Each structure stands twice: as structure tokens, then as C-alpha cells.
Structure 1
């Protein structure tokens, strides 16, 4: 995977490709966890009491809040590290 990313690429493209692959893997993990938690939601409504469900939702919102906001802070980094594709100079 890394050989395909690094060979013949400017530094900005290498950074963006690594960031994109990392972002895709994070989004796949988040969707998998959301699927897992949604299946637990159905189980939670059947067997848990209301205070336990409220504790579960508080844990869910606090644990995943940073994951949803991280991409919004990292996207401006692409403009800082992007290079012109033909000259290799900073834009």
C-alpha cells in the first residue's frame, strides 16, 4: 500500500493520500461501531430501564463527539501541505 502511495508523488500528494486513507479507515470504523451500537439499542430498549438507557446515550455522545469533529479541523491542512502537481512549489 505504501509503495503505491509514495513512488513518484510530490510531498503534498503523499501527505494527502496518507490522510485520505486514514480518514477512510476511521470512517469505516465509525460506521461499524454505529451499526454495532444500533443493534445494542434494540436490545437496550427491551431489557434495560430508562436510567440505564440514558447513561448509555451519554456515554455514546461523549465518546464519539471528538471523532465527528476531527475531520473538520484537519481538512484545512490540505491547503497548507498541497503542492502544485507540475512545478512542485507551494500554492
Structure 2
């Protein structure tokens, strides 16, 4: 069961059909374009959880930053030295 406050609340379930054992899971969440509120220039020591704590007061909302910046698929991508100086869009806490 998914908690009602989860970002996956309201996401449709998925069960594969066909031969063999089925896989129960969730379908992809539908994401619209996020409205950027701020721009943050990434520094060498920025981490997604720390940025989420700074901007939202909650380090567990790091995924919100990645939802708004689809060019980075994984949170670890933001730790690479090659992203220093690039701009990260900071969306509102809720859309």
C-alpha cells in the first residue's frame, strides 16, 4: 500500500499478463513541465538532498529537483564534477 502523502499516490498499478509469473508494480508517474521558481548554479559540494533541505526544508524532496530537470536522470548525476557551474531549476514545493 502506498502512503497518501507519497509522490506515487494516485499512480495506477501495473500487472504484466502473459506466460510466466506476473510482475506487480506501478506505472510511470505522469509529469507535466514544472514551473521554475528559482535557478541555482551548481557548486562542487552541492548534493540533491542538501539542496532540497535548503529550498524546501525537507531533504527527502530531492526527487522534486530531478522531476523539474529531466536532463539529469539520476540524483548521482548532480555529484559529477562536470555539472559544476550548470543551472538547476528549482520548482515550487508543490505544483
One fold, TM greater than 0.5?
no
Higher share of residues assigned helix: 1
Higher share of residues assigned strand: 2
TM-score range, shorter chain: under 0.3
- Greater relative contact order (Cα < 8 A, sep 6+): 1
